[in-house]
């Protein structure tokens, strides 16, 4: 179930970044900001959910 949920999030994220916004893969600023946002969100979610499962 986690794999399906993660894939659904990936699809929605792609649609929001690539189809709704003005994301250009050839512009480094777009790639860096998107990657930094994804990394920051991943760390924050890992710390939040880690509290329920023994903490990180």
Q: Write the pLDDT tens digit of every residue in 22-43.
A: 888 788 898 899 889 889 988 8
pLDDT at 36: 93
DSSP summary character for residue 23: -
Question: How far is residue 31 CA from its own chain's centroid?
Answer: 12
Domain annotation covers residue 36: yes
Q: How many residues in the chain?
A: 56
pLDDT at 3: 83
Is the pLDDT at 56 greater than 60? The verdict is no
Q: Which two tokens stand for residue 19?
A: 């189809």
CA atoms of 19 and 34, how far apart (whole Å)? 14
Domain annotation covers residue 16: yes
Domain annotation covers residue 32: yes
Domain annotation covers residue 29: yes
What pTM does this model have?
0.63
Domain annotation covers residue 55: no
- The answer to whether 31 and 24 have CB atoms below 8 angstroms apart is no
pLDDT at 42: 85
């Amino acid at each position: 179930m986690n794999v399906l949920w993660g894939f659904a999030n990936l699809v929605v994220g792609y649609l929001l970044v690539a189809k709704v916004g003005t994301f250009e893969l050839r512009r480094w600023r777009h790639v860096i900001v998107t990657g930094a946002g994804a990394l920051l969100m991943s760390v924050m979610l890992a710390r939040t959910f880690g509290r329920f499962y023994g903490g990180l």
